[in-house]
Amino acid sequence: MVLPKSSPRHSDLLEMAREWIFEFSPPAPSITSEKTVIYYQRKHNSHPLKPSRAMDPEQDEILVSIIRDTMKRFGRREKLVVFDGKLSVKEQFDLFRSATTIIGAHGGGLANLLYTLPGSSCADRPKVLEFATNPSVPDVQKGSLEVSYYTMYSKCPWVDFHQIFFVPPSDRETTFVNLHEFAAALTVIFSPFPSPHVNGLLS
C-alpha cells in the first residue's frame, strides 16, 4: 500500500459549507431511500488547449462491467448510474446525495463529493474510489501526488476515501488503471465483511 504524500486540508471549511447546504436544502425522502452507485465517466473533449484525461473507451466499458458484476456478487441493490457530468446542478446535487459509492477519475465531477449524505455509522459512510496520477505517469498532471481529492476529503468524516493510481501508457489525453487493482478495490468497498482500509495503491 502506498499512501499519498499530500496532506488533507480545509476539512473545517468543507464541513461549514455542508452545514449551510443542508440547512437551506434538506434532502427529499426519495433521495434518502433510492440509493445509487455512481461511476464518473470522463470522456475526451474537443478543446485544443485542455487535456481530456479521459479513460480509454474500451477500458471504460470493462470498468462498468466489473462494477456491475461485483455489485451482483455482493448482493448490492443500489442502482448503478454512469455520470458524465451532463446534468444540471440540481440533478447532480440530488444524484450525489443518493450515493453509497462514488467511483472515477480525478476531475470536476468528483467535486460533488461535498453533497454526499453521511451514513448512520462509520461503516455506512459513502465510499469513494478515486483514480489518481502518480510519478509512473508523468504526462498526467505532471505525476504529482498532490493532484487528488485526497488532499481535501481523506479526513472528512462523511466519506470513506480510497485511491488507485493511473498506470502506463496513461498520458494527458487518455488514462488507464490496472484492472486487477480495480477489482480488488471494489471487493474492499462492496464486501459486507470488515476489510483493511485502502488509501493508496492496491497491490
Residue 150: band (very low, low, confident or very high) from pLDDT cuts 50, 70, 90? confident
- CB 52 within 8 Å of CB 74: no
Q: How far apart (Å, rounded) are the C-alpha atoms in residues 98 and 117?
A: 7
Q: What is the pLDDT of residues 54-94, one digit of tens each?
A: 999 999 999 999 999 999 999 999 999 999 988 988 888 88
| Residue 136: per-residue pLDDT | 96
Percent of the chain with pLDDT over 70: 79
Q: Closest Cα to residue 201, out of 157, 159, 166?
A: 166
Instruction: Say if residue 134's pLDDT is above 90.
Output: yes
Domains of the chain in start order, with CATH, are: 11-23+31-190 (3.40.50)
**Alpha carbon distances (Å) from 11 to 54, 138, 153, 198:** 28, 28, 7, 20
Cβ neighbours of residue 165 closer than 8 Å, sequence gap 6 or more: 2, 131, 132, 133, 134, 136, 137, 177, 201
**Alpha carbon distances (Å) from 64 to 72, 103, 113, 118:** 12, 10, 20, 25
Angle between helices 57-73 and 179-190 (to 10 degrees): 30
Question: What pTM was computed for the model?
Answer: 0.82
Q: What is the pLDDT of residues 41-51, one digit of tens each?
A: 988 765 555 66
As a residue count, the chain comes to: 203
Which DSSP string do the residues of 137-201 spell out, in sequence order? -TTTGGG-TTSSTHHHHTT-TT-EEEEEEB-TT--SSEE-B-HHHHHHHHHHHH-SS------S-
Q: How far apart (Å, rounded) are the C-alpha atoms in residues 84 and 184?
A: 24
155 against 119, higher pLDDT? 119
Q: What is the pLDDT of residues 178-191, one digit of tens each?
A: 999 999 999 999 98
| Residue 135: per-residue pLDDT | 95
Using the 8-state DSSP alphabet, how is residue 41 labeled? -
Q: How many helices (DSSP H) and strands (DSSP E) are in the chain?
A: 6, 7
Q: What is the pLDDT of residues 5-52, one digit of tens each?
A: 444 556 677 777 777 677 777 776 665 678 999 999 988 765 555 667
